[in-house]
Structure 1
Amino acid sequence: MTNFLQDSVVPKIVKFTQTRYMQIILNAFMSVTAITIAGSFFTLLKSIPIDIWQKFLDSSGVGSILSIPVAITTDIIALYVLCAISYQTAKSFDIEGFSPLLISLGSFLILTPFTGIERSAGEGGEIITQTMDNVIPVSSIGAQGIFLAIFVGILATRIYIFAIKKGWKLSMPESVPVNVSNMFASMIPGGLVFTLFLLFRFILSLTPFQTAQNMIYGLLQLPLTAVGGGIPGVIVYTLAISIFWSFGIHGGMVAYIGMAAIISVMNAENLAAFASGSAAPHPEWALTPWTMMGGAGSTLALSILIFFFAKSAQLKVLGKMSLPTSIFNVNEPLIFGMPVMMNPFLIFPFILVPIINLLLSLLAINIGFLAEPTGASINLFMPFGIMGMLANSHWSGFVWSIVILIIDIIIYAPFFKAYDRRLLNAEKESEVTVTDEVEIKI
């Protein structure tokens, strides 16, 4: 079974993740992460669980000011994704990225309805619905627009590149400055892209969907997030990370490529809910501080066992290197140095422990022991315990980190002992062999 996975399944998955458009999507979402983390800094600042601080935020109006960076990152996240996708697509084809980025942004706005709905209470308490013109609905450029942003970013940029490479552009004399020449060179490709997207908008207006946002959200994004965005999706994502790492493949990167769009939607909706004072609608996607303590496989527990209890020389040296980095969720020294990958002693707990952590954390939330995550994006290199406390802005986040760590240590302990014993025996046999050789030579 192992040989089949290693020789047949894994190479195909790796080949798929290395395709042009998978790499474009991965690089785009990785670049957008900087925006969401910047907004989350203010989310964390606003959510510090100190009563005096919260009263100050409410009474002074500072709380409303701190909500602004959150709003301009999460409420319009689709625009950031669009720009990143377009830029990475152009870069992949060795085309200067600024012009196609602007064309893609214009194409997205062409598909965006400039009408919104305002609801207000009448004198009798009834709800009055009023259509407003010349406004952009936040839902069109927020989390609900991410999937459309991906399609438009790739398609608009590819059409632009196709026109450029076909030579459909206005060529200026060499005496004309480069910036002016580039402006004229983009006129025909840009006009072609705008025309096609304008035609697409008109066709959609004749359908029940009315808009591209409604079509993509209804046919693709909503079903995908319903299936892959809940607890089963988190379990699949968590399992994929551990399984791929077990075969020496960067599990986090591979799993993220496959579910980047869904993950981004879940995180954006969580953060938007927090900005509006609501509970995170997808708390299961914010449990990483407890499901993967120390990195993939939740190996902080394994690093602690190695550091304090290892008897083999190999693991003693490894423990000194891996524990400091594991505290900050960097476990590559452990995965490659032990090694964890392709290790029959450790593969089982490496895959199982994160799932146990996930299910226990969900249980702890349901019984009220663990406060729900706020939905803020946390820097994954925050130290153990602090990361858990920041995730839900509550003391229970720190306490639960310790509880989970103890459970992980108990699970990892017998597997660690068996592997450490094997290494120690191998080292003793090696010493005997070396001694015998020396005696023979003498």
Structure 2
Amino acid sequence: MNKFMDMLSDKILPIATILGNNKYLSVLRDAFMLSFPLTMFGSLIVVFNNLPFWSDSLKVTFGELFGNGQSATMSMMTVFVSLGIGYYMAQAEEIEESIFSAVVSLAAFLVLTPFFFDVLDADGKISVTATGALSLDRLGAKGMFLGIIVSFLAAKLFIYLTKKGFVIKMPDSVPPAVSKSFSALIPAIGTLLIFLILNAIVDGIFNTNLHDVIYNLIQKPLTGLGTSLPATVISIFFVQFLWFFGLHGQVIVNSVFEPFWQTNMLDNAQLTQQGGEALAQHGHIVTKSFMDTFTVGLGGSGATLIVVLMMATIMKNKQYKEVGRFALAPGVFNVNEPVIFGLPIVMNASIFIPWLLAPIVSVIIAYIGFASGLVPLTTGAQVPWTMPIFVSGFLATNSIMGSILQLVQVIVIGLIWLPFLKMVDRNDVNSL
């Protein structure tokens, strides 16, 4: 067992370290976190507008009255992610005025965005084309991948021109705000001009736009692949595996999968506005809400709430009991570092199997619950990962079935862990 663990660590940990320290993944993670408060606000509106005990007419009324809370936040998430990428990329490259990189990145994305959209009639045919207007879906889920790609490219180009000295230096007597604006002038014009020419080529020669090209060729296939059951199981495996060696698996893995989960979450939020039937027919199972609520939401990475509860109640070893009691309160809010380092789970080969196996089995159960229709799909509301179990399941799905699914998951996780905890407890008690 030890030789096998050493072999895995030698092969995988160097790759995980590279991913964890990757500048671009760190920037992307920080950009998503920049939008987190806005997403949470929009999520609260989604939950309120679609509470299961509202009548259909009341849901429509609330949607008309409070729908802007979602439209101005969650539905425009690509705007905030683009700003964040430009800002944090400039910070990573030690550019003094990062805000200019942020607005240039956003402007580059908008340059490539069509300022028109088709309005469809009841039969799905184009009834009119609205011009001089932006389609909200291009600023949200549908434009997410283009926004990420363009923002990185625009930020890198802006930073390159700035570092190469293509700046206008003003006398010291000029107010700082004016001087900084002139310093950013040439890099901003140069960057945006390239994207404007690119848009003209794609539009004029190929009679299309990069939004549709990226969405159909890259985003749609990759999102489907990245949020499939096998991909989800792989992501959970690496979260658990990396944590076993003391690396923050959640941070490393989320940096790779976050765009897929966020995109699906935004899609579900838009479908929720159209009604429960649209969500049930066209919604996604694996979303950011799904991952936060039905994996981390069961007690933190590894879903260890039931583990610390069993440690505090049924284990005989006093040390394990104390660790369980100490870890129970933070575990309720899905913070489980006390048990990860207190049991310990890190580098403890005797519990490697349940640590790895239980979350994988749990997420498969959750996936089947949604795929079978027993549990309604997540509405697109992003429930905070610190929300206690059962409450989070209800809020994510607007259904008590979400809470019941969490209960089933917890029971299964407990059954997987129980024999291993008894074995560890018996061995340590006998050694006293």
Alignment partner for residue 305 of structure 1, among 307, 310, 329? 310
Q: Give runs of aligned pairs for residues 50-199 of structure 1, distance below 5 A.
A: 50=53, 53-54=54-55, 57-58=58-59, 61-95=61-95, 96-120=97-121, 127-199=125-197
C-alpha change, 1:110 and 1:309, in structure 2 (3 Å) is: same
C-alpha change, 1:184 and 1:372, in structure 2 (3 Å) is: closer
Shift of 1:364: 3.2
Shift of 1:226: 2.0
Q: Give runs of aligned pairs for residues 370-381 of structure 1, distance below 5 A.
A: 370-381=375-386
Runs of 4+ in 1 over 6 A off after TM superposition: none
SS of the counterpart of 1:283?
coil
| Native 8 Å contact 2:284 2:377 kept in 1 | no
SS of the counterpart of 2:129?
strand
| Native 8 Å contact 2:271 2:279 kept in 1 | yes
| Native 8 Å contact 1:87 1:101 kept in 2 | yes
Matched, 1:24 2:27: yes
Shift of 1:178: 0.4
Shift of 1:420: 1.4
Name structure 2 gaps, 5 residues minimum.
none
C-alpha change, 1:172 and 1:222, in structure 2 (3 Å) is: same
* Structure-2 separation of matches of 1:100 and 1:186: 9
Matched, 1:49 2:52: yes
C-alpha change, 1:49 and 1:145, in structure 2 (3 Å) is: same
| Native 8 Å contact 1:70 1:275 kept in 2 | no
- What amino acid maps onto 1:49 in structure 2? P
- What amino acid maps onto 1:152 in structure 2? V
Which residue matches 1:235? 233
| Native 8 Å contact 1:209 1:215 kept in 2 | no
How many residues of Structure 1 are paired with residues of Structure 2 in the alignment?
421
SS of the counterpart of 1:287?
helix
Alignment partner for residue 341 of structure 1, among 342, 346, 349? 346
C-alpha change, 1:140 and 1:48, in structure 2 (3 Å) is: closer
C-alpha change, 1:55 and 1:201, in structure 2 (3 Å) is: closer
* Structure-1 separation of matches of 2:264 and 2:198: 28
Shift of 1:165: 1.5
| Native 8 Å contact 1:230 1:282 kept in 2 | no
- Decide which moves more: 157-166 or 400-409: 400-409
Shift of 1:64: 2.1
C-alpha change, 1:116 and 1:184, in structure 2 (3 Å) is: same
Name structure 1 gaps, 5 residues minimum.
429-442
Alignment partner for residue 326 of structure 2, among 305, 321, 324? 321
Which residue matches 2:9? 6
- What amino acid maps onto 1:72 in structure 2? A
CA offsets per residue over residues 286-314 of structure 1, 9 Å max, x none? 43433341011111111111010121122
| Native 8 Å contact 2:305 2:331 kept in 1 | yes
Which residue matches 2:286? 284
C-alpha change, 1:15 and 1:284, in structure 2 (3 Å) is: closer
* Structure-2 separation of matches of 1:167 and 1:274: 49
Normalising by the residue count of structure 1, what TM-score does the alignment of the two structures yield?
0.90
| Native 8 Å contact 1:86 1:104 kept in 2 | yes
- What amino acid maps onto 1:31 in structure 2? L
| Native 8 Å contact 1:287 1:358 kept in 2 | no
CA offsets per residue over residues 266-296 of structure 1, 9 Å max, x none? 1211222223323161123343433341011
* Structure-1 separation of matches of 2:227 and 2:401: 25
* Structure-2 separation of matches of 1:128 and 1:196: 32
CA offsets per residue over residues 373-399 of structure 1, 9 Å max, x none? 323111110112111121212222223
Shift of 1:366: 4.8
* Structure-2 separation of matches of 1:372 and 1:210: 34
Matched, 1:37 2:40: yes
Which residue matches 1:438? none
C-alpha change, 1:264 and 1:395, in structure 2 (3 Å) is: closer
- What amino acid maps onto 2:69 in structure 1? P
* Structure-2 separation of matches of 1:190 and 1:91: 17
CA offsets per residue over residues 32-60 of structure 1, 9 Å max, x none? 2222112101111222222xx4467348x
SS of the counterpart of 2:286?
helix
Matched, 1:330 2:332: no
* Structure-2 separation of matches of 1:413 and 1:151: 46
| Native 8 Å contact 2:78 2:143 kept in 1 | yes
Matched, 1:410 2:415: yes
CA offsets per residue over residues 233-274 of structure 1, 9 Å max, x none? 222222221121122111111111111221221121122222
* Structure-2 separation of matches of 1:306 and 1:243: 22
| Native 8 Å contact 1:89 1:154 kept in 2 | yes
C-alpha change, 1:238 and 1:364, in structure 2 (3 Å) is: same
* Structure-2 separation of matches of 1:243 and 1:374: 30
> What is the alpha-carbon root mean square deviation over aligned residues?
2.0
C-alpha change, 1:207 and 1:68, in structure 2 (3 Å) is: same
- Structure having the higher Rg: 1
Shift of 1:326: 1.1
- What amino acid maps onto 2:43 in structure 1? S
C-alpha change, 1:207 and 1:332, in structure 2 (3 Å) is: farther
Normalising by the residue count of structure 2, what TM-score does the alignment of the two structures yield?
0.91
* Structure-2 separation of matches of 1:17 and 1:382: 26
| Native 8 Å contact 1:243 1:251 kept in 2 | yes
| Native 8 Å contact 2:43 2:74 kept in 1 | no
